[in-house]
Amino acid sequence: MPSPAQVHSVDAIELFCVQLAKYEQRVQSALETLTSELRRASEWLQHDRPSFWKQQTKLAEDTVHQAKLDLERCLIFPIAGEQPTCREEKAVLKKTQLRVEYCRGKSERVRHWNRHMQHEMFEYEGRVGQLRRILETELPAARAKLQQIIRRLDAYQIERTPHSPEMPSKTSPSQETQTTPSPKNEA
């Protein structure tokens, strides 16, 4: 047979129920914010960065093409009967080729991180799913149970009389006489 509950304050249960509801709202808000930020980062990796690096690669390739044309032009026209060195044009061509490699490398890194991000988003959704389930089902059920307990305690307090034999009063008449100081001892 279960032992009787030792409830000292219904107000404490009510306060706990209110705090539980506030906690639920804070966690729900934090999850929404986190999910929103993750979606924004995912969108950035899926759409913004690939198109940006594709455009940068195209511009770099166009610059390489122009640098090759400039080098060919330089090599075509000999100066004073000698073949020109065209150092500046060669340096520009090398620099533009490095830029193309850099842009292609960035495009590849974006693809890599996009795959990685998709995997991590999948993992996140799986892990957060349990927390969402708790927020959507278990916390409301716990709050409902607490409300039910509070209603039962209130009904119990209404049903019992102030000096019922089940609940002794705080002080008995014999205790009152023992704790009351006698007038002789006061002097």
Residue spans per domain, the chain:
10-159
pLDDT at 1: 60
Residue pair 117/41 in contact (Cβ under 8 Å)? The answer is: yes
Whole-angstrom Cα distance, residue 27 to residue 131? 9
On the question of pLDDT at 49 being above 70, the answer is yes
Contacts of 78 (CB under 8 A, 6+ apart): 84
Whole-angstrom Cα distance, residue 153 to residue 151? 5
Alpha helices (runs of H) in the chain, residue ranges in sequence order: 10-43, 49-76, 87-133, 139-159, 173-179, 183-186
- Residue 78: both structure tokens together: 């000999």
Mean pLDDT of the chain: 84
53 compared with 181, residue with greater pLDDT: 53
Segment 84-138, tens digit of pLDDT = 788 999 999 999 999 999 999 999 999 999 999 999 999 999 889 989 998 889 9
Q: What is the pTM assigned to this prediction? A: 0.61
pLDDT at 160: 65
| Mean pLDDT value of segment 8-32 | 89
| Mean pLDDT value of segment 17-46 | 93
pLDDT at 187: 39
Cα 86 to chain centroid distance, Å, stands at 57
- In terms of average pLDDT, the best of 19-23, 105-109, 180-184 is 105-109
